[in-house]
Amino acid sequence: MKIVTSCVVSGIALAGMGAASAADADKGLTSRVYTDIVSPSEQVAYEAGAKAFNKCLADHGSKYRWNAWVHETGDTYKYSYVAGPYAWADFDKMAEIGKVCDQTWRKEANPHLKSETSAFLVAMPELSRMPDDKKAAPPALLSVTYFNLKPGREADDAFNDNVKKIAAAAEKSKWSYHFVTYKVRGGDKGAPDYILVGSYKNWADYGAGPDPGVWKMVEGVSGKAEADAMRKAIGDAIADASSHVNSYSAELSYVPAASK
């Protein structure tokens, strides 16, 4: 499965279905993502609607940031908006503030949408190599990889166990590449079980990729036999995988005044 190799190298992802534990509820590990699909002829009007919604949030003093990402590869008529990571209780507060501007979105942006999906993404630190500076400005590019697993607990356990080993090897070797694995909650039928996200400074950085590559890094820590076994276990657990690249859009993002 060549796509599995390229996906694991190009990002490290968003994650499996299931509930987070109560202990994780207040750790600020959860983000919410909306992905909009817009017809080419509607893009200008749609983007104007998104800006009108952001102005409404600013006028009402919303303190919750939304980072906007334009899909650069794959379906390029998609936009994704991500708020977080926050604690679960913050989304109740966000919903109350959002009600004030919901009519603006419905009036200004909805008429130009083909469709919209939403899900919650729960970061899994033990399956990630988190960035050193968690408050850094958004990167220019994100590599986003979707993983759908085969049915059954065995596939989920195999994926989790072996991505955890990759993350441990990355920490031990002080690998320069950082990635975050998320668990997808409430994504509806067809949503990925895991999503892998990695960041890049520019296209040259993306084109170069991690050095060493993920499996060379693991091999250096655990040996070739263990690396091959991990690679096979992850490949055997995956039913389907795909990846795309997003670019950060400052003009479509909502940044609270206190954060500027």
> What's the per-residue H, E or C state across the chain?
CHHHHHHHHHCCEEECCCCCCHHHCCCCCEEEEEEEECCHHHHHHHHHHHHHHHHHHHHCCCCCCEEEEEECCCCCCEEEEEEEEECHHHHHHHHHHHHHHHHHHHHHCHHHCCEEEEEEEEECHHHCECCCCCCCCCCCEEEEEEEEECCCHHHHHHHHHHHHHHHHHHHHHCCCCCEEEEEEECCCCCCCCEEEEEEECCHHHHHHCCCCCHHHHHHHHHCHHHHHHHHHHHHHHEEEEEEEEEEEEEEEEECCHHHC
Rounded to two decimals, what is the model's pTM? 0.87
Higher pLDDT pick, 40 / 96: 40
Give the pLDDT of residue 98. 85
Question: Would you say residue 260 lies in a domain?
Answer: no
The residue assigned the tokens 């083909």 is 114
Omega within 30 of 0 (cis) for the link into 212: yes
243 is in which domain, residue-wise?
A: 2-253
Residue 65 lies in a domain: yes
- Report residue 8 as tokens: 């694991």
Looking at the domain assignment, is residue 259 inside a domain? no
Is 33 among the domain residues?
yes
Q: What pLDDT sits at residue 18? A: 32
The share of the chain scoring above pLDDT 70, in percent, equals 89
**Residue 258 covered by a domain:** no
- Could you tell me the two tokens for 10? 């190009």
CATH code of the domain covering residue 47? 3.30.70.100
Count: domains in the chain: 1
Overall average pLDDT of the 109-127 stretch: 97
Whether 207 has a pLDDT exceeding 80, the answer reads: yes
Maximal C-alpha separation, the chain = 58
- State the virtual CA torsion across 216, 141, 16, 7 in degrees, nearest 10: -40
pLDDT tens figures, 49-70: 999 999 999 999 999 999 999 9
